[in-house]
Structure 1
Amino acid sequence: MERINTASVTYNDVFQNPLNSRYCSNEMKYIFSPRNRFSTWRQLWVYLAESERSLGLDISDEAIAQLKQNTRIEDDEFEIAAIEEKRRRHDVMAHVHTYGLKAPAAAGIIHWGATSCYVTDNADLIFLRDALNLVLPKLAGVIQRLSKFAMAYRDLPCLGYTHGQPAQLVTVGKRASLWITDLLDDLHNLEYVRDRLLNKFRGVKGTTGTQASFLAIFKGDQEKVKKLDKLVTEAAGFEAAEISTSQTYSRKVDTDVIHALSSFGSTCERIGGDIRHLAMFKELEEPFEADQIGSSAMAYKRNPMRSERLCSLGRKLRNFSADAEQTFASQWLERSLDDSAIRRITLPESFLCADACLILLNNVSSGMVVNKAVIQQRIDQELPFMATENVIMAMVERGYSRQETHEEIRVLSHQAGAVVKQEGKPNDLLDRIRDRDFFKPIIPELQTLIDPSTFTGRSAQIVDELVEMKVSPALQKYADVLESVKDAELKV
């Protein structure tokens, strides 16, 4: 391996997380960025100082003004904080020091009565909320696009598959309705954890969750301590703080949020897998750009790379659930720090992964190509076998024995199957039926008995009902946002 000069390392000399460099939106990356993290800490210190001052603590107007004027951490301050953290081995105190240099009048009251988790945990809850608020409209946009696709192909017959084998016909739109149904569940799950999160702010709880430090500051006035908790919670945009916490908010909150994200990841892999199978059959194709190369060797190929990437990222996303569960379960008593390093990875990456999946789903659902001729060809190959039940019923209606008719059909079906499987020829079962005198009574209506549209049941109506009864109400709250949602472009 080439040895590098570590003193002159550049961006291209170090590992880059592909979620950051290839797959995600700038909006999601910013939520979990160092600037947003430390600027949010500063905003939380402003909320604390303003609330403490409103409840009678001696904090000057000048101190509040300086704090509010410097909530955004500037580039040069990162180095100051890094030097201080290396010296103190404590990230929060390093930033208290750095903020105090910008707001000297407030240097003595920043973080008054608080423990580190006041900023770290409350900030994480803010990031979870904001990230969910970014994910939800994107998911609604995907559901809207797939619903339009389902409606456009609500009555186009295609082969259904059970056990990986051709089964009773469905429609292209009906199959898409399965994806929509699962995504609606994901939408509801994510809305639930977001709404629940709004009532689980950590607030001001002190070092072990007893609020003892704040009770001391306010000379034993419990009502002021409760009011302080309420003021800070409302200032941060939450509806309520959790009543009982330890030094941290319960890591079960993380678990529930990531469960919802991981469940969405499962949906992504499921949808991506379906599209890949249909692409393999040449029935459906994802968007393919004019200059896109499918293979470096096989120029004719149109690989479903978007759906493959969706499966890959969906698989990664659904595996974050185990990390969250194990982190929650491993916490000791009022606090242990073995959660810190893994949460710095798991929380951002789970949302970055979900964001990347939504970009892919948006892109794919905006330009899927339905190959009607191939679909019809595959129907023609299999439908004669599926129509045998209709033929039997029609013969029985004319007074023929069901058992005798079944035996006639069985023999002809096996003969036609052998032609298809062993000789590679088209399915000739209908010709065999036409040539068999036994079936003369139903020959005039044979074409009607094999009309594909008569084999799809209520597929079209099911699509209509799903869109009307479930999709439309679910998307109503996102109506304003959906008007401006654009087709997502992939970076690579």
Structure 2
Amino acid sequence: MAQPAGGEAGGGGDADLGRYRSPLVSRYSSPEMAFNFSEAKKFSTWRRLWLYLARGERMLGLPITEEQLQEMESQLENIDYKMAAEEEKKLRHDVMAHVHTFAHCCPKAAAIIHLGATSCYVGDNTDLIVLRDGFDILLPKLARVISRLAGFAQEHAAHPTLGFTHYQPAQLTTVGKRCCLWIQDLCMDLRNLERARSELRFRGVKGTTGTQASFLQLFEGDHSKVEELDRLVTEMAGFQQTYMVTGQTYSRKVDIDSVAVLSSLGASVHKICTDIRLLANLKEMEEPFEKEQIGSSAMPYKRNPMRSERCCSLARHLMMLVLDPLQTAAVQWFERTLDDSANRRICLPEAFLTADVILSTLQNITEGLVIYPKVIERHIRQELPFMATENIIMAMVKAGGNRQDCHERIRVLSQQAAAVVKQEGGDNDLMSRVRSDPYFSPIHGQLQLLLDPSSFIGCAPQQVVRFLEQEVGPMLVRYASQMEGKVELEL
């Protein structure tokens, strides 16, 4: 559905500055996601659903004319919002306000608009359409992030870097292998979003408490026509299936499924961007930094990872939003209660808008990630001698030495080198001590080889290649036509 003119996110005149506007729309989100949750999309979809209902009812024999249908179709986008607001203020009912507003511009069709339906026919079915379209916006964005990271991982598949456990130096890994840990989480998210999208069904035409009693009455007790109407409207709305049983609403567990996968995505993005922030502190990796960007108003030298910080900040909000649909589903009394409405008006749009923001921002980050090999090498040099002690012991044993004697000698030298690093702030001089100790003379010629970082990365490069080829590549095939385009952040 095309976005109407003037529908850009964050637009508005000076009068808007005197009212709160959600930063998700005014500052961050994409125009397409902002429009997906807009009033224009919502109310024009209501009208479209009324048209589908009337069209289906005519096909099944109710006295509705083609002229009435054409009149409705001609007015789908011609919504008098001022009149609708006045009607809602008077009626205290948003759906009936829009029924009256639609009827006002469709005098010939007025009598058959909303025939047999309840408010949730337009409300819930529109929500399901919007959720479906929201996933369709997010999925290619997530695929693009995975694709960008896959290119980065492939480029650095064999580039040794210091690994960390407990944020303490551990065995070496590679830059590409670490990136694959991020990609794997995002691939799980891609599968989760695809599943949630594919499992969405339509509420269809179910009536006031889900029994379809009003439609059975319209069709004079013909159950087959009631079922066929449900099928026709569902098909016109672009869905393959309906929820076979509902109360007045579709089960609010559907909202849990939708928001849960987005909250899970938020956790993945938070972890990735936290890693980037920590690596930025180590000066091993940086997100894009604009030529005129200011990192601090007081400290001109700073290059803060503000994009990653923004992702973490918004991801925390996204992770918390799943609590809303969980509690809403838990307190839906019997066939429905209205305490879901106000909550869902907030949490569902915010979940998709927030996911949209963090994916766009993460794409921008991944399209400009840089590493600093010399810094990475320096950190490896500082820690690798300690990690190489076992290799040194094994080499000495092969040269005829005694393992226990060698272990004690290397232990003493390691403690001396550690004291230089920790107490004096010096560089790790363990290898200099080994080279100057006659005991290790049988392997002095091997030390350079024993300290080659590439001998400490195990199967990391091969793992990267296999993972990208066998898992990531096939997942991205269906999005191949949507991979183009870079993200430029305005703020």
Equivalent in the alignment of 1:186? 189
1:38 and 1:73 in contact (8 A); partners too: no
AA of the residue aligned to 1:245: T
Equivalent in the alignment of 1:80? 83
Correspondences of 1:71-470 after superposition (within 5 Å): 71-74=76-79, 77-197=80-200, 200-470=201-471
Gaps of 5+ in 2: 1-12
1:286 and 1:368 in contact (8 A); partners too: yes
Correspondences of 1:46-65 after superposition (within 5 Å): 46-65=51-70
AA of the residue aligned to 1:13: G
For 1:108, what is the secondary structure of its paired residue? helix
Counterparts of 2:266 and 2:215 in 1: how far apart (Å)? 42
Counterparts of 1:73 and 1:281 in 2: how far apart (Å)? 57
Equivalent in the alignment of 1:22? 27
1:323 and 1:346 in contact (8 A); partners too: yes
Equivalent in the alignment of 2:489? 490
Q: Aligned pair count?
A: 479
TM-score (norm 1): 0.96
**CA RMSD, 1 decimal:** 1.0
AA of the residue aligned to 1:489: E
AA of the residue aligned to 1:71: L
Counterparts of 2:77 and 2:398 in 1: how far apart (Å)? 81
Of stretches 296-305 and 403-412 in structure 1, the one that deviates more from structure 2 is 403-412
1:157 and 1:169 in contact (8 A); partners too: yes
AA of the residue aligned to 2:187: L
Percent identical pairs in the alignment equals 56
Counterparts of 2:264 and 2:245 in 1: how far apart (Å)? 28
AA of the residue aligned to 2:433: R
AA of the residue aligned to 2:129: I
Q: What displacement does 1:273 show?
A: 0.3
Counterparts of 2:228 and 2:202 in 1: how far apart (Å)? 14
Equivalent in the alignment of 2:44? 39
Q: What displacement does 1:73 show?
A: 3.9
Counterparts of 2:437 and 2:453 in 1: how far apart (Å)? 23
1:433 and 1:439 in contact (8 A); partners too: yes
Q: What displacement does 1:9 show?
A: 8.9
1:274-317 Cα deviation digits (max 9, x unpaired): 00000000000000000000000100000000000010011110
Counterparts of 2:93 and 2:204 in 1: how far apart (Å)? 21
Counterparts of 2:454 and 2:271 in 1: how far apart (Å)? 27
Counterparts of 1:319 and 1:486 in 2: how far apart (Å)? 31
Q: What displacement does 1:91 show?
A: 0.2
Counterparts of 1:16 and 1:61 in 2: how far apart (Å)? 43
Counterparts of 2:434 and 2:109 in 1: how far apart (Å)? 93
AA of the residue aligned to 2:179: A
User: Deviating runs (4+, > 4 A) in structure 1?
Assistant: none
1:187-229 Cα deviation digits (max 9, x unpaired): 00000000001xx210000000000000000000000000000
TM-score (norm 2): 0.97
Counterparts of 1:128 and 1:375 in 2: how far apart (Å)? 44
Counterparts of 2:280 and 2:441 in 1: how far apart (Å)? 40
1:395-424 Cα deviation digits (max 9, x unpaired): 122232222111111110010000011111
Counterparts of 1:73 and 1:212 in 2: how far apart (Å)? 32
Equivalent in the alignment of 2:4? none
Q: What displacement does 1:438 show?
A: 1.0
Equivalent in the alignment of 2:8? none
